[in-house]
Amino acid sequence: MATFIKLKCRGSINSFRQADFHTYHKTLPLPPKTTVAGMIGAALGLSPQVVNDEWLKPARFQVGIVGKAGGKANDLWQIRKYEGKTMKAFEKGEVPAPYKTAVIVRELLFGSSFCLYFFLPDETDKELLIKGLLLPKWALSLGREDELIRIEQLKEVELTTVDGHFFKHTVIKYPQEYELDKDFMEESAGKNLMASAPTAQRVPTSFSNPGYAREAESFEHYLFISDFPLRPINNSAGFFDPEENWVFQLI
C-alpha cells in the first residue's frame, strides 16, 4: 500500500507537443512527466531551471497519469523564420522584411479530464505540494502556459497494488511485452482499431538550459494507452483506485 496525492482536473484546451514533429505539432494524448513537473513549478513558484535540477533530475517525485480527451482540433499558426541570409538581404534593401513567413499546424486536445497521482517519499515535499496546489503561486496549466486546468478534486489516498489487470487511458514504461484485450477486439470488430491503438514514444525526462534554449538531456520510452486495453506480460502490477475502477503505474 502507498499514499498518493490524488489530483483530478479538467482542461478546455491542452496540448503536449511531440518533439520529433516540426511543421505539424502533433500532441501526445496525455501529459508527460516533464509537463507535470512544470505544473508543480507553477504551484510552488519555481523557475524551469529549479524544477529541472531539483525535481526532475533527482527523481524527487513519481506520478501516475490517467485521462482522456473529448476530441481533437487543429490550430493554424503563421510564424516568422529569421535566417542569416534573409537578414543580410534585408539590410541591403533587397527584401522587404528580415524574415520569411511559414505556416504550422498545432494539434490540440479539447474537453480533457486528467487524474494525477503524485508519490513523494518525503513528507515535507508532500505537504509542500498540497499547499502549493491549494494556493498556487502562478496559474496552473498542463501544456502551454495558457492551457489552464481547473482542479475538481485534491486529496490523499491510500492504494494497493494489483496484478493481472488491463490498463486503459494511461501511461506506462516501455519497452515491455503486452497482450491485448481479446474481448475488446471482438466487440470492436469492423471498427478502425488503429485510432485506439497504443503508441510508443521517446520522451525527454530532463533538460539542459531549461530556462533558455533548452535541449533534451535524457530520455525514457513510454507507452501511451488509449481506448484499447492492454496488459503487460512481464510487469502487470499497478495501483488500483477503487473509486475510479482503473489501474496505473508510476513513471
User: Per-residue pLDDT tens for 138-167?
Assistant: 999 999 999 999 999 999 999 999 999 999
Q: How is the chain split into domains, by residue range?
A: 2-248
Which pLDDT value is given to residue 210?
A: 63
| H or E element that contains 50 | helix 48-51
pLDDT for 133: 98
Q: Which of 9, 228, 38 is nearest to 117 (CA)?
A: 9
Whose CA is closest to 146, among 117, 193, 106?
106
Q: What is the pLDDT of residue 186?
A: 82
Low-confidence ranges of the chain (pLDDT < 70): 210-212
SS3 28: coil
pTM for the full predicted model: 0.90
The architecture that CATH gives domain 2-248 is 2-Layer Sandwich (3.30)
The pLDDT, as a whole number, for residue 155 is 98
Cβ partners under 8 Å of residue 177, min gap 6: 232, 233, 234
